[in-house]
Structure 1
Amino acid sequence: MVTIGINHLGLTVRDLDQTTAFFTDCLGWVLLAREDSYPRTTVSDGTCRLTLWQADRARAMTGFDRKTNIGLHHLALEVPSRDALDELAAKVRNWPGVQMEFNPEPMGTGPRMHTMFSEPGGIRLEIIWPAS
């Protein structure tokens, strides 16, 4: 193998401040960098690093459609326990602008569990408890 993993994932978002706040204030991630002249932030949970880019507000924005857009389908994040999944899902569900797709439920026949939602900026996220 020549590569050794993902360095970061870059995502274009509808509202940089709103999405950055979701990751830092709701999910508890750390803000690593901010560059207002090329509007972007970098956030991390200590394992995963995301660069969030402000969409060009001077142009018409098109919301993401996982069934017709080429590229990102969703971003899946892992939690260490079923309790952590339930607690985070409750927090996310009550976060302003979040659109829940479904609450925690078994993946297939279980015991793995997951929840899906779109954060306020439109990025589709999945939270998984792998039950391992």
Structure 2
Amino acid sequence: MTTQGINHLGLTVLDLSSTTNFFTKGLGWSLLAKDESYPRTTVSDGACRLTLWQADTSKPVTAFDRKSNIGLHHVAFEVSTKEMLFALADKIRSWPGVRMEFEPELLSGGPRMHMMCLEPGGIRVEIIWPAS
């Protein structure tokens, strides 16, 4: 093998501040870096690192359509317990700008469970409890 996993995932978002707050305050991630001159932040949960880039809203922006755009379909994060999955659903369900696609439900017949939402910047986020 020549590579050793993902160093970070770079995502362009509609509102950098809202998305950064979603990850840091909503999901409890750490803010690692912030660069106002090239609007971006870097956040991490200790295992995964995301670089969030502000979309240039002086030009027309197009929301992502997972069925017709090439690129990121969604990003999935794992939680260690079923209780954590439901606790996060309770917390982010009413988070400003979040759209719940579906609440926690069985994944492929269970016992695994997952949920899906769009965070305030428009990125589709899945949270999975692997039941193992």
What is the TM-score normalised by the length of structure 1?
0.99
Q: What SS does structure 1 have at the residue aligned with 2:34?
A: strand
Residues 30-89 of structure 1, C-alpha deviation per residue, up to 9 Å, x if partnerless?
A: 000000000000000000000000000110010010001100000000000000000001
Q: RMSD in angstroms over aligned alpha carbons? A: 0.5
Percent of counterpart pairs with the same letter? 68
Alignment size in residue pairs: 132
Match in the other structure for 1:106? 106
Q: Which runs of 5+ in 2 are unaligned?
A: none
| Matching residue's letter, 2:47 | T
Q: What SS does structure 2 have at the residue aligned with 1:38?
A: coil
Q: What SS does structure 2 have at the residue aligned with 1:102?
A: strand
Q: What SS does structure 2 have at the residue aligned with 1:60?
A: coil
| Matching residue's letter, 1:80 | S
Match in the other structure for 1:14? 14
Q: 1:109 and 1:53 mapped to 2: Cα distance? A: 36
| Runs of 4+ off more than 4 Å | none
Residues 85-115 of structure 1, C-alpha deviation per residue, up to 9 Å, x if partnerless?
A: 0000111101111100100000011000000
Match in the other structure for 2:93? 93
| Matching residue's letter, 2:84 | A
| Matching residue's letter, 2:98 | V
What is the TM-score normalised by the length of structure 2?
0.99
Match in the other structure for 2:55? 55
Q: What SS does structure 2 have at the residue aligned with 1:127?
A: strand
